[in-house]
Structure 1
Amino acid sequence: MKKVLSMLLLISSATVFSQKMITVDDFTTKNTFTARTVTGINWMNDGKYYSALDDNKVIRYDITTGQAVETIVDGAALNPRIEIHSYSLSADEKKLLLRTDYKGIYRRSYSAEYYVYDIPSRSVSKLSSGGKQSYAAFSPDASRVAFVRSNNLFMVNLADKSETQVTADGKFNAIINGTTDWVYEEEFGFVDAFFWSPDGKKIAYYRFDESAVKEYNMQVWNGQLYPKDYKYKYPKPGEANSVIEIWVYDVATGKKVKADIGTETDIYIPRVKWTTDPNMLSICKLNRLQNHFDLIHTNATTGESKTVFTEKDEAYVDIEGMDDLTYLDDGKQFIYSSESDGYKHLYLYTIDGKLVRQITTGNFEVLKYVGLDEKNKTLYFTSTEVSPLEKHFYSIGLDGKKKTRLSQAAGTHTVNMSNDFQFYIDYYSSASQAPVVNLYRTKGNSMIKVLEKNEGLVRASEEYGLATKEFFTFSGNDGTQLNGYMLKPRNFDAAKKYPVMIYQYSGPGSQNAANDWGGKHFYFHQLLTQKGYIVAVIDTRGTGSRGEKFKKLTYKQLGKYELEDLISAGKYFASLNYVDGSRLGIWGWSYGGYMSSLVMTRGGGVFKAGIAVSPVTNWRFYDNIYTERYMQTPQLNASGYDDNSPLTYADKLQGKFLLIHGTGDDNVHFQNSVVFQEALINAGKQFESFYYPDKNHRIPGAKTQLHLYTLMMEFVLRNL
């Protein structure tokens, strides 16, 4: 019996010691844990095929088999040779717009060169020779392409390659046509701010006058003898915004009409889209505090407008409802999502804004409206009905009946449906399942083919003995049950005492504790578990997937309730038998960096060590669309800004603290960390800091990331 026991111990030890050790190189400079997926999907009109970009080729696939049947275009075989960054098909599927020579500007903006590829003739031609273009888009009949260059809108007639300059007043840091200013790009999430009408006869576009917006000056070193000043318009809370106008250009006559959006200029236009009527434009309008939403319908010929629907909220109206806004083909109704009953749900309205019915109901969130099959009067969406930790795919009748759950496996499902709703691709993962991509037939909900198994990632996860998420709940100081998961060392022994590193983001509507694979900084966290740490990831009050009341509790007091919950989390872990309560750490990035800074200054010494990467340190320094949505203006809510700022509590810093920032951060300015450092220095507090020259908010670059995560790892090992 002793021999058997000894052999079992030896086998167990061999299993433990055969586990590969993760290095920072594995998830920064190497591709050890790269997850493969299926991207660039374009569903074809005939319902039999889809196309995708793979290995510089646009390939047509048979939907029913998932097999490649034709290479539509091979970038390497073209003259000139093109490295295809992305592509788009014309509506008639006879032409392709190929994007190459891509250069990013901010988070979403870019410049590029575009080529037009004619499929029947197999010919390729450059879209324009006048300089790089941005956001090129076919007209519905594929006879023209519109694009933006140097803050102006242009149009190319593909028949003769004649180029028309639609606007001429565009100027850097002054006037923008057809794209957005910085704050719209960052907070409203789009840059292509022009829209072809359904019949292709008109183009609606944004015009921004940002002349009155104050500039932020960012020095750029880049190894030069004299650093350069980069100045761009960045509106901070309480400061002037761009003045927005919506114009409509008539392609045939060249005439322009301005939409009537009212006389108040201190407003936002988060979304513009055409209705199914080619002469009716839909404009979404928010007031400055973002708690009053108007849906406006505009006559595209005259500019005359009418407000057809209004929604108000004591806190703010979420723009997700505007993303879900869908006009039915009959031109008589539209779908809109709202949190008006306490959870985000889908509603049906008449074209003039009268409620027909609430389509989805219940104590759960509709996460994404996927689409509407009007022929069968069936609507598709994903929701949290099973659990706030999971995302599942559903169908429901437009009448609100016959709701059916289509996804079965526990975890997170993200769906891409074909245009005719006969097929869908399910991007699925769970805490124990690496991402897989499956192709389904909607009728009968039958799987056709596994498009991606991620076998390489599965092998790597086994070889390196990755820890599996263990979900838990803990109580906040008000009794609210909060969600989290932990990763434990592989040879975890409940009789031992372990240090704990908590990661959080905590921002409004966000979510990190979910039944899915990975997550932010997942492999860094796995490395820490191999070093003997328990890593916990938690969501505080104010985060998403749990209803409007839970999310909007933090309104006007960002940081207050999140801080209480993070301190409760620290105390919860300190109470566990297998945790060393004197060795608790916390870290975060961006909003998470703000919270880890607040915890280390105002947290009463619960945490021994903390790391803040690219943190906001006072909401007065951040952009106004995001900040005022949750905080109102400093003029209306000064105490909300200052009472929960780490700057206010610099003299109360306790424990070891590491502050990290990129000097080229156009989003959360380096200013935040500079001012915080000054406050800590003046308070006589010792801490560590590191800056990354010219790096933006993500602190990108393989070598930079290698340095960053090594820096953080060594800080944790040294101080926790």
Structure 2
Amino acid sequence: MKNLLFLFLLLIPFTSFSQIQKNNQSPLTIGQIMQEPGKWVGSLPENIYWGEQGEKIYFDWNPEQDTLSSLYRYSLKDEKIEKVLLDEKKNLPGRRGSYNDGETRKVYTRNGNLFLYDVKKTTERQLTNWLENAYSPDFALDESHISFMKNNNLFLLNLETGVIEQVTNFVQGEEKPDSENKGQAKWLENQQKELFDVLNEREAENKAQENRREEEEIETPEKIYLGKSRLADATLSPSGDYVIYSTYDRPENSKSTGVAHFITEDGYTREQDARPKVGSPETRATIGIYDVENNKTIEVQTSAIPGLKDLPDFLSDYPDQIPEDTADIKEREFNLVGSQWHDEKNLAVVVALSLDNKDRWIMLLDPENGEMELLDRQRDEAWIAGPGIGGYSISAGEMGWMPDGKSVWFHSEESGYSHLYSVNIETKEKKALTSGKFEVSNASISNDKKHFYFTANKVHPGVKHFYKIPVEGGELTQITSMEGHNEVSLSPDEKLLAIRYSYANQPWELYLQKNKAGAEAERITHSTTEEFERYDWRVPEFITFEAEDGAEIHARLYRPENPGNNGPAVIFVHGAGYLQNAHKWWSSYSREYQFHNFLVDNGYTVLDIDYRGSAGYGRDWRTGIYRHMGGKDLSDHVDGAKMLVEKYDVSPEKIGIYGGSYGGFITLMAMFTEPEVFAAGAALRSVTDWAHYNHGYTSNILNTPVDDSLAYVRSSPIYFADGLQGALLMCHGMVDDNVQFQDIVRLSQRLIELGKENWELAVYPVEPHGFRDPSSWTDEYKRIFKLFEETLKE
């Protein structure tokens, strides 16, 4: 590849795709693998939920391969699957809604109207009939009323009388002060009153009438002016005396990036506004209190939030940024989110999240005076995140009130893994409800308030089972038994489990099981196509190997049946950073999994690593990339390559690497900084400079460019492009609004100025971050295969 690539154009390949395809030793073709998954693999059941009586399971499915999926139901009585007809679908109780305490009634919305469903009688009662849009319905005031939101205000509907009362009066914009005449205008007004008695008489009459109207009028809720903020939600206290309302404010001075669409319906280029870049002003969220009885607002007092002046450890690298006098240290900004009322008392729990991502405070709020008390503080010098915790400054995470009403439960990584904790609101005593070297997610309390149900990877980091424990903690009971991933939906009476299950080489299917440990699960659906099933899809070897720092790394290994001596190998790098792929269930990278089978058929060994920063392995693994992306996450891949050479007879000169998004970023860092390890790399939709990525993800890991420029320089491939030696393929969608096309354009210009010749860029004019069109997927992966064939095989 001797010719320089002209920006935005493709380097004409010396070997055609058709010639490469002739060398294919697999019964598969890349064109097959890159089809729409629903047409090739099969339509897999999704969005599973139970009917109100627990007699039917509903799910989205498309076995007939229509244009769109449809709603299907499985009848436990008839043991049959049928498509739900449109008329029946329109009359189904709303999937989302709220139950009363005994779960005998449910309130929900349909087409903006309120409906009340009697679970035992299976009858529905329509409560409103309007063209407006009600949302967020719930039972209130001992279930005598329904609270709901409409037109950005909270309302109450009396179930006995049908009367609807407006509780709040939120107003967008600022309060307009009464205009005050001054100067010349005031002088003229006074002159008129001095000269003409009739004006004074009429003014007095108007004032008297206004006073009488005010005396006779029913008191209306005080106007609460939101300014430029937007209302997120408003919830009523158990007594009805207080409302907690949440607002958010998107900064106006945050400059957005743009995405240009060149292939459009009308033939004109269209510009699309996209996200801001890291370091831009952030969305702010806060809460307020409205005292219904006294018709006034109460300010939330935040003085009890500790540590607002605590400086992050990374500032030790920037001593000039640390004030000499502690009095000059500014308090850190934070968001208030996630308020949840006590079931009976006028108390709420809220979460405060620092904008620098390093603190999470769980606070008890007294709405009577707006004062807060600290229940728990979680601090991480890297960043707060983890299953059930959130990870962004507007995500409160999973939490709630314990059945005793005296404690609050929540997730914390205090032990190094995300586990359940409770804290007593009076004594502030904290208790670990679960513990061990595994992670807990999707926690909820059972109907009888005696148990927690949750998902955990206790038996293996790559296996997820459904568990229960006593609500106050104790021994875990594993309920599911199929190895892989068990996504569970409990029946209304909690006697049965609807399980969406998959294994490494078996796509997702729907199963039914009794809610009993060791019970056998019965398969309900058969979704895969005959064409897909003709190929014997491999179960990869689930291996571990040791990193240079002694850490144990989990990986998937794919090997040919008769691998040759000093054979070629490809390492795949999953994207998203905080994601898991060396697991034992059907991968979200299903096309890549199939491509790995294709590569193995053609003589390649394939390794897929859960590198540092991946999900499923606890806090230390999650934060192993803090302030240096392209550090341990890349060295884990280098160690994987060495392991392939030492243990699996792979040639050290025939190792390639590829991946998309974060995987593309690692591929670039590998090709630029470890050229002696990787002979070829395919970087897809790659981040090339983290200073140009979004704020929510990037600031967690690297802080901001202004505050921590060292982290950005050592983590961004564009600074290391001079190290390129091997063959590099880059592929990027031109309408990518996540990792934007500008990223790859800037790197291309850098490579041109460096005089690098051994690279090529394939651009896809109509593709966003995740490709949509099978022809684009096919073109991209043919190029990847061609790259490896030309560079890794003799």
- Per the shorter chain, which TM-score range? 0.7 to 0.9
Residue 216 (1) aligns with residue 278 (2) = no
Change in Cα spacing, 1:663 to 1:393, as seen in structure 2 (3 Å) is same
Please, which moves more after superposition, 627-636 or 334-343?
627-636
Alignment of 1:435-514 (within 5 A): 435-443=508-516, 446-447=519-520, 449-454=522-527, 456=528, 459-489=530-560, 492-505=561-574, 509-514=578-583
Match of 1:639 in 2: 710
How many angstroms apart in 1 are the aligned matches of 2:127 and 2:471?
44
Structure 2 counterparts to residues 306-345 of structure 1, below 5 A: 306-318=373-385, 320-321=388-389, 322-345=396-419
Residue 659 of structure 1: CA displacement?
1.7
Q: Which residue of structure 1 lines up, in the alignment, with residue 42 of structure 2?
A: 34
Change (3 A) 1:461 1:693: closer
8 Å Cα contact 2:347-2:366 kept in structure 1? yes
Distance 1:53 1:249 in 2: 42
Shift of 1:628: 2.2
The within-5 A match list for 1:597-636 is 597-636=668-707
Local SS of the residue matching 1:499: strand
- Other-structure match for 1:346: 420
Q: 2:756 aligns with which of 679, 682, 685?
A: 685
Q: 1:609 to 1:90 in 2, by over 3 A?
A: same
* Residue matched to 2:188: none
From the superposition, tell whether residues 43 and 630 of structure 1 become closer, same or farther in structure 2 (CA, over 3 Å): farther
Q: Distance in 2 between matches of 1:50 and 1:542?
A: 37
Q: CA deviation at 1:251?
A: 9.1
Q: Is the 8 A contact 1:38 1:451 kept in 2?
A: no
Work out the number of aligned pairs and report it: 654
* Distance in structure 2 (CA, Å) of the matches to 1:375 and 1:638: 53
1:705 aligned to 2:793?
Answer: no
Superposed displacement of residue 602, structure 1: 0.6
Q: For residue 563 of structure 1, what is the aligned residue in structure 2?
A: 634
**Structure-2 separation of matches of 1:374 and 1:41:** 17
Instruction: Give the CA deviation at 1:578.
Output: 4.5
User: Structure 2 CA distance, aligned partners of 1:580 and 1:465?
Assistant: 27
Question: What amino acid is the match of 1:236?
Answer: V
Single out whichever of 408-417 and 553-562 deviates more from structure 2: 408-417
Cα shift at 1:222: 4.3
The residue number in structure 2 matching 1:656 is: 727
TM-superposed CA distance for 1:54, in Å, is: 6.3
Structure 1 distance, partners of 2:767, 2:296, is 44
3-state SS of 1:408 partner: coil
**5+ residue gaps, structure 1:** 1-16, 99-112, 179-192
**Cα distance in 2, alignment partners of residues 157 and 667 from structure 1:** 43
The answer (yes or no) to whether the contact 2:229–2:248 under 8 Å persists in 1 is: yes
Determine the C-alpha separation between the residues in 1 that align with 2:108 and 2:664.
43
Q: Which is greater in Rg?
A: 2
- The answer to whether the 8 A contact 1:29-1:702 is kept is yes
* 1:349-360 → structure 2 map (5 Å cutoff): 349-352=423-426, 354-360=428-434
AA in 2 matched with 1:380: Y
Aligned in 2, Cα 1:698/1:378: closer, same or farther, shift over 3 Å?
same
For residue 595 of structure 1, report the CA deviation from its aligned partner: 0.6
Partner Cα separation in structure 1 for residue 155 and residue 30 of structure 2: 51
CA contact (8 A) 1:438 1:447 kept: no
Cα distance, 1:66 vs. partner? Answer: 6.0
Instruction: Specify the alignment match of 1:177 in structure 2.
Output: 230
Amino acid at match of 2:666: M
Moved more, 418-427 or 249-258: 249-258
- What are the equivalent positions in structure 2 for 1:546-585 lying under 5 Å apart? 546-576=617-647, 578-585=649-656
Residue type at the aligned position of 2:464 = K
Alignment of 1:196-275 (within 5 A): 196-197=235-236, 202=243, 204-223=245-264, 224=266, 226-232=268-274, 234-237=276-279, 239-247=280-288, 259-261=300-302, 266-269=333-336, 271-275=338-342
CA distance 1:495–1:605, shift in 2 (3 Å): closer
- Higher mean Cα deviation, 255-264 or 639-648? 255-264
1:391 maps to a residue whose letter is K
Separation of aligned partners in 1, 2:684 and 2:295? 50
Quote how far apart the aligned CAs of 1:487 are.
2.4
2:499 is paired with a residue whose SS is: strand
Aligned 8 A contact 2:737 2:768 in 1: yes
Q: How does 1:422-433 map to 2 (within 5 A)?
A: 422-433=495-506
Q: 2:86 aligns with which of 50, 75, 99?
A: 75
Contact 1:508 1:552 in 2 (8 A): no
Partner of residue 695, structure 1? 767
- Partners of 1:531 and 1:494 in 2: CA distance: 10
Cα offset, 1:74, TM superposition: 4.2
Q: Given the superposition, is the C-alpha separation of residues 434 and 668 from structure 1 closer, same or farther in structure 2, using an over 3 Å criterion? A: closer
Shift, 1:597, TM fit = 0.8
Equivalence for 2:657: 586
What is the deviation of 1:165?
A: 8.6
**Matching residue of 1:146:** 149
Q: How much does 1:300 deviate?
A: 4.8
- Say whether the 8 Å CA contact 1:283–1:298 is kept in structure 2: yes
Establish whether residue 194 from structure 1 lines up as the match of residue 233 from structure 2. yes
RMSD after superposition: 4.1
1:382–1:467: structure 2 CA closer, same or farther, 3 Å change rule?
A: same
Shift in Å, 1:63: 5.9
TM-aligned CA distance change 1:625 to 1:587, over 3 Å: same
User: Offset of 1:586 from its aligned partner?
Assistant: 0.8
Provide, for residues 466-514 of structure 1, a one-character-per-residue CA deviation record: whole Å limited to 9, x for no partner: 222122222322232312112234xx21345532221113765421101
Give, in angstroms, the shift of residue 126 of structure 1.
Answer: 8.9
Local SS of the residue matching 1:612: strand
CA contact (8 A) 1:504 1:512 kept: no
Please tell me the residue identity of whatever aligns with 1:690.
Answer: A
- Whole-Å Cα distance in 1 between the matches of residues 775 and 497 of structure 2? 38
Q: For the structure 1 residues 274 and 585, does the alpha-carbon distance in structure 2 shift closer, same or farther, using more than 3 Å as the test?
A: farther
Matched, 1:88 2:96: yes
The CA deviation at 1:244 is: 2.6
Counterpart in the other structure of 2:208:
none
Shift of 1:453: 4.3
Q: What one-letter code is carried by the residue in structure 2 that aligns with 1:699?
A: F
Cα deviation digits, residues 144-180 of structure 1 (max 9, x gap): 65378xxx6797989799999955349xxx94524xx
- Letter of the 2:286 counterpart: E
Instruction: Give the CA deviation at 1:708.
Output: 3.5
The 3 A distance-change label for structure 1 pair 474 and 115 is: same
Q: Distance in 2 between matches of 1:240 and 1:353?
A: 39
| Aligned CA distance change for structure 1 residues 19 and 552 (closer, same or farther; 3 Å) | closer
SS at match of 1:446: coil
Secondary structure of residue in 2 paired with 1:452: coil
Residue aligning to 1:526: 597
Q: Which residue of 2 aligns with 1:24?
A: 31
Distance in structure 2 (CA, Å) of the matches to 1:542 and 1:18: 36
Give SS of 1:468's match. Answer: coil
CA drift at 1:265: 7.3
TM-score, normalization by structure 2:
0.72
Asked if 2 retains the 8 angstrom alpha-carbon contact of 1:433 and 1:517, the reply is yes
Query: What is the one-letter code of the residue matched to 2:230?
Result: N
Q: CA deviation at 1:381?
A: 2.4
Percent of pairs identical after alignment?
22
What residue number does 1:108 align with?
A: none
Matched, 1:368 2:441: yes
The answer to whether the Cα contact below 8 Å between 1:293 and 1:311 also exists between their aligned partners in 2 is yes
Q: Residue 500 of structure 2 contacts residue 508 of structure 2 at CA under 8 Å; is this kept in 1?
A: yes
